[in-house]
Structure 1
Amino acid sequence: MVVTRVGKTGELVFDNVKVPKENLLPNVSGLKRSAGCLNQARYGIAWGAIGAAMDCYDTALRYAKARKQFVNQLLLPATTKNWPK
């Protein structure tokens, strides 16, 4: 079974909030730094989805090659000889 965990996201609303100058991040204005972090996370999420899809394919292929239907194999070796391993 393939399982992927997702992060919970939500909305934060700050209205009339004052942040002391000493608590501000240096050389950052707006959400640029935060959005950059999310952009980097997208790569990991994409690779995770690709890995999950590859595992699903491999599992289904192994099952189909081992499955017998009415005494015959469901997939004959000649059927899958040019498929990716």
Structure 2
Amino acid sequence: MEKDETIVLYNNKIKEIANETFSLGEGMSNEKLVRKVLRTLPKRFAHKVTAIKEAQDLTTMRLDELMENLTTFEMSLDDGESSKKKGIA
């Protein structure tokens, strides 16, 4: 995932790759996809990745469930950054 890329765009890329590998006969398990996504997230998601790994069972977590969780977290990050930009006089 690139630094400026959103989770939604990243999710689309991951789904395309998963579909391509499936069509080639090399399907990936959901667990493998979830682990790969968590490994490729930028540092701004480090706290969330740690929390997910500790609190969730990655063997049963679905990719769409992970992406929803990360999208919600990203939205809260964006809210925090926009409030910092306003500044206090």
Q: TM-score, normalised by structure 2?
A: 0.42
Which is bigger in relative contact order (C-alpha 8 A, separation at least 6)?
Answer: 2
More strand by share: 1
Q: TM-score, normalised by structure 1?
A: 0.43
